[in-house]
A and B are shown apart, each in its own frame.
Chain A
Amino acid sequence: MVLEMKNIRKQFDGLEVLKDISFHVDSGEVVSIIGPSGSGKSTLLRCATFLETIDGGEILYMGEHAAHTDASGKAVYVHPKQLHRFRSYCGLVFQQFNLFPHYNVLKNLTDAPIHVQHRSREEAEETAMELLRKMGIADKANAYPYQLSGGQQQRVAIARALAMRPEILYFDEPTSALDPELTGEVLKVIRQLAEEKMTMVVVTHEMPFARAVSNRVIFMDGGVIVEQGHPEAVFGDPEQERTRQFLSNYQR
């Protein structure tokens, strides 16, 4: 198991956003998270990637605790030094790309490997070029983010995350900021990664994509997991009325 989250609770000044969420992700698995806006999907990814701290519950990577809950019911994280190691297990692709505008594409991909992971420049650049070829944007290595289309920027962002060699890659609505004609090129590279057995968790509103690519689908609403299972089960014959309702908005 790459990731295990148990009984996760999170609130923002009184507002309970995650209410006792438990799920896990196996190695090589692709898990899609769907659900209406405000249901806590982003917050869940942000807790998993340590951008937010949980109030209660447990987070385990590779079977090892990054956070657990003590006797008083409060979440306790491992020492910051160790947390750094847990961070290195996960990559995150944002809706808004968040590329570094002052670095060209190549430097966006090599800066963290060189300065955070202390890998050699040659090796980092070689890895970066390989990733850019895979993303179909090797010719953009020297371009700056502002010179790229949204779809290209998002592919750079995916490559930047992969350059750190994460164990698991999270996507938070990776195509929501893109024009419809550009979503295809981004979904294609995610699909390609799925075929290569990259472990991934994808928050998305692209239902056909989620159905085709995932091994498992999680439907969230109101801070809880309403239903999860094989995509054919969740999309084809949902158990919960709430799931059915939500999915009907996407079908015609």
Chain B
Amino acid sequence: MSFSTMFSTMGVGMLRTCSIFFLTLLFSLPLGMIVMFLRRSRIKVVQGITKVFIAIMRGTPLMLQLLVWYFGPYYLFGASIRGYRFTAIIIGFSVNYAAYFAEIYRGGIESIPVGQHEAAEVLGYSKSQTFLRIVLPQVVKRIMPSVTNEVITLVKDTSLAFTLAYNEVFSLAKQISASQTSFMPFVIAGVFYFIANYAVAFAMERVEKAFNYYR
């Protein structure tokens, strides 16, 4: 197999990896917001259930969670899981990352001084105005470094999709390497992940800089 064939075969895997990455962010970032609100709910039961949920998401391997999301419907309900592989991967990643993002959001919100809420309250801002106009913009700035860490972890975590035999970059590299007895696929995969991480770090740094206009 020539290098260019190898590269173009793996290119398909790269696109798949990218789609896991972007779809996971697309769903988990807002989903994390919902989980955070539930975690901060004044209703004790809701708060408790959310705590347990977050503990499970963070306390068990993502690899195991992917297997449960994929095979769960079959074992629990006898449902057909044909054509469900990619969906299961996106659900598994999104739900898992939402739990992490929720905790990052929560830390950010709780780090905003109570004086900010009180100043807004006296000025007559409603609860939602206070959140959207005063609290959230400051939270976004504060959590940026933690979010960056999480996003970089996600780039590497996408390789866990191999658990469900999904042919993203990592799985393809393994397969091609075995069939061609070549080390090259691993080098290509490694370079790909490195560049992807570099791009993410670069983009996030730009976003962080955009918030530097205040302290």
Q: Residues of A at under 8 Å CB distance from B? A: 49-51, 84, 87-88, 90-92, 94, 96, 98-102, 111-112, 115-117, 144-146, 160-161, 164
Contact = CB atoms under 8 A, between A and B. Distances in A.
A94 B118 contact: yes
Given A96-B115, A102-B214, 15 more contacts: A49-B122, A50-B122, A90-B122, A98-B115, A98-B116, A100-B116, A102-B141, A112-B125, A115-B133, A116-B124, A117-B124, A144-B214, A146-B215, A160-B123, A161-B122
A84 B214 CA distance: 31
14 contacts: A87-B121, A87-B122, A88-B124, A91-B122, A92-B119, A92-B122, A94-B118, A94-B119, A100-B116, A101-B215, A115-B125, A116-B124, A144-B214, A144-B215
B17 to A, nearest CB: 36
Contacts of A164: 123-124
A117 B137 CA distance: 21
Nearest to A112: B123
Contacts of A90: 122
B213 interface: yes
Contacts of B215: 101, 144, 146
A211 to B, nearest CB: 28
A117 B123 CA distance: 10
B33 to A, nearest CB: 19
Contacts of A117: 124
B138 interface: yes
Tell me which of A51, A94, A100 has the highest count of chain B C-beta atoms within 10 A of its own C-beta.
A100
A62 to B, nearest CB: 17
Interface size class for chain B?
A: 10 to 19
Contacts of B164: none
Interface string B118-143: 11011111000100011001100100
B123 A116 contact: yes
A-B complex: 3 closest residue pairs judged by Cβ atoms: A98-B115, A98-B119, A112-B123
Contacts, number: 59
Nearest to B138: A102
Contacts of B113: 96, 98
Contacts of B116: 98, 100
Nearest to B125: A116
B167 to A, nearest CB: 45
A90 B215 CA distance: 29
Given A84-B124, A112-B125, A164-B124, A146 B214 contact: yes
Contact of A111 (B118, B133, B141): B133
Tell me which of A112, A160, A161 has the highest count of chain B C-beta atoms within 10 A of its own C-beta.
A112
B138 A101 contact: yes
Nearest to B141: A102
B121 A100 contact: no
Contacts of B119: 92, 94, 98-100
A101 B137 CA distance: 10
B138 A87 contact: no
Interface in B83-118: 113, 115-116, 118
Contacts of A98: 113, 115-116, 118-119
Nearest to B123: A112
Nearest to B214: A144
A159 to B, nearest CB: 13
A240 B118 CA distance: 35
Nearest to A95: B115
Given A101-B138, A102-B214, A116 B122 contact: no
A73 to B, nearest CB: 27
Contacts of A160: 123
A241 B213 CA distance: 54
A96 B214 CA distance: 18
A160 B123 CA distance: 9
B123 to A, nearest CB: 4
Contacts of B115: 94, 96, 98
B134 A144 contact: no
A91 B123 CA distance: 7
A91 B121 CA distance: 10
A84 B124 CA distance: 7
Nearest to A170: B122
Nearest to A157: B119
A230 B158 CA distance: 74
Interface in B175-215: 213-215
